[in-house]
Structure 1
Amino acid sequence: MEDVQGRPDPRAIPINQVGIKAIRHPVRIRDRSEGEQHTIALCNMYVSLPQHFKGTHMSRFVEILNAHDREISVDSFQEIVRTMRERLDADAARLEMQFPYFINKAAPISGVKSLMDYEVSFVGESSHDQYRQTIGVQVPVTSLCPCSKSIADYGAHNQRSHVQVRVRANDWIWIEEIIDLVEEEASCQLYGLLKRPDEKFVTEYAYDHPKFVEDMVRDVAIRLKGDSRVDWFSVSSENFESIHNHSAYAMIEMDK
């Protein structure tokens, strides 16, 4: 049968990214405490398309995913991106995966355990025989406003914040390490389950550790800047304000 996608295209306009989005696939991720955990990733797969091709072969993306066993692992990530470039005759390829990652956390006083979920992303890019991989983690935390604490006779307003960290590293970094780093720099970390003594603790802990959104990203950036394994990073924080109908936001990006 004729390869319609392979027909020449007279418009002579290359396409930066063409492919498939939002395909779900099982993945296997290394877990610092349990060895590994299994989860489901939402995948986007793209390649570049030269100006002389009419289209790409969409079915090949799915074939490539299914060819790497039933589950994708971090170790097979680069191989998948390389295969995308080769099978689709492309100069560049990009694979994005986003998935929930779970940690069993103990409450600070009672010790009762519950699962906390974090949004994790992997992005692999290959072009001109160079490969680059970025790990992203979104960590929900508590932030308490220093200004509110300073001017109020009692109490201070706080909010839940989403801190997004993305790193490119030259050595292995655990997902849990990134989560720990962010939670240590927040006004307080979050837990899936709290008893009354725990609730008292986290409320008072946040009050003793007030931070603006600017403080949050700067303190995390200092930690990442001092980690020799990290070549590039970005850190952002969105604070979902409790006394405003808008969010506060800050972002730092650094190529070391």
Structure 2
Amino acid sequence: MKDVQSMGDTRGIAIQSVGISKAWLPFLAAAEKGQPQNVTAMVEKFTVDLPKEYKGTHMSRFMEILHEYANKPLNFIAINELLREALRKLAAKSAHITINFKYFIEKAAPVSKRQSLLDVDCVFSGDKIENKPLVFTMAVAVPVTSLCPCSKEISDYGAHNQRSIIKAAVKFSKPNGLTIERLANIIEAQASSSVYSILKREDEKYVTEAAYENPKFVEDMLRDLVLSMRKLKEIDYFSIECENFESIHNHNAYAAHEEYV
């Protein structure tokens, strides 16, 4: 059958990124301990470059590659192999993929030790240029609690607190063992308190009092996290966003920072 996509094109325009987006698939996410976790993932983008000589790319090959890797745990090595396969099968010089998924971390309540699962939003992203190392990005968004230092200082009773989301993304160019769980733990340690899916009365008392004893502005959480991220020898770059869903304002408080390390 005639292959129109492989026909020549005379407009002289090389396309930097062409491929598929918004594809949902089941994947395996590598866990810190035990078996990989089954996740439903959205492939935000999976693209390659297209030389100016070709009319189009072969869209079906992207899905074929994704199905081939759906049963392999997602990690640096798997993403590197997947993009190398894309370069080979699509005769490309560069390839990119971004995969979004929910990951569940098992947590024990602070007093009752009741086990529950905390869901965190994760992103794995890879950029591969032919004959060069993979640039891999791992990002997580973790819910935490923040308690306002100013409110505590000026109030006779209590202090306002809120749920916050801290997002951290790290880049590295070789396998290093940094896991979703470890990055999430680093993030949680900078908040006034962690959040949990299940809390009994004794846990609620502990969490409330722990947050009260550890008040932090959005700026405090961000700066403390920057200091912690600078200690990670495995990464080349990090970016952080902290957002407080304010309980006494009709707006959010926000802070962000990025740097190479």
Interval of TM-score (by shorter of Structure 1 and Structure 2):
over 0.9
How many residues in Structure 1 have an aligned counterpart in Structure 2?
Answer: 256
Equivalent-residue separation in structure 1 for 2:234 and 2:46 (angstroms):
27
Secondary structure in 2 matching 1:254: strand
Residue 193 of structure 2: which of 188, 197, 215 is its match? 188
The C-alpha deviation readout for 1:69-124, integer Å capped at 9, x for no partner, is: 63453232211111112211222111111111112211111111111111111111
Specify the code of the residue in structure 1 equivalent to 2:153: S
Secondary structure in 1 matching 2:55: coil
Contact 1:144 1:159 survives alignment (8 Å):
yes
The C-alpha deviation readout for 1:167-221, integer Å capped at 9, x for no partner, is: 1234211211111111111010000011111111111111111111111111111
Q: State the match for 2:141 in structure 1.
A: 138
Q: State the match for 1:68 in structure 2.
A: 69
Secondary structure in 1 matching 2:64: helix
Alignment of structure 1 residues 12-161 onto 2, 5 Å: 12-43=12-43, 44-68=45-69, 70-74=71-75, 75-130=77-132, 131-161=134-164
Q: Please, which moves more after superposition, 89-98 or 132-141?
A: 89-98
Equivalent-residue separation in structure 2 for 1:106 and 1:148 (angstroms):
30
Contact 1:26 1:71 survives alignment (8 Å):
no
Secondary structure in 2 matching 1:205: helix
Contact 2:28 2:71 survives alignment (8 Å):
no
Q: State the match for 2:207 in structure 1.
A: 202
Contact 1:14 1:51 survives alignment (8 Å):
yes
Contact 1:122 1:134 survives alignment (8 Å):
yes
- How far residue 6 of structure 1 moved from its aligned partner, in angstroms, is 2.5
The percentage of counterpart residues that share the same residue type is: 44
Residue 230 of structure 1: which of 232, 235, 239 is its match? 235
- How far residue 137 of structure 1 moved from its aligned partner, in angstroms, is 0.9
TM-score, length of structure 2 as denominator length: 0.91
- The structure whose residues are more often strand, as a share, is 1
Equivalent-residue separation in structure 1 for 2:53 and 2:152 (angstroms):
62
Contact 2:27 2:70 survives alignment (8 Å):
no
Contact 2:192 2:210 survives alignment (8 Å):
yes
Contact 1:5 1:53 survives alignment (8 Å):
yes
Q: Please, what is the CA RMSD of the aligned residues?
A: 1.7
Specify the code of the residue in structure 2 equivalent to 1:251: A
Contact 1:144 1:187 survives alignment (8 Å):
yes
Specify the code of the residue in structure 1 equivalent to 2:111: I
- How far residue 225 of structure 1 moved from its aligned partner, in angstroms, is 0.4
Residue 218 of structure 1: which of 204, 208, 223 is its match? 223
Q: Which runs of 5+ in 1 are unaligned?
A: none
TM-score, length of structure 1 as denominator length: 0.93
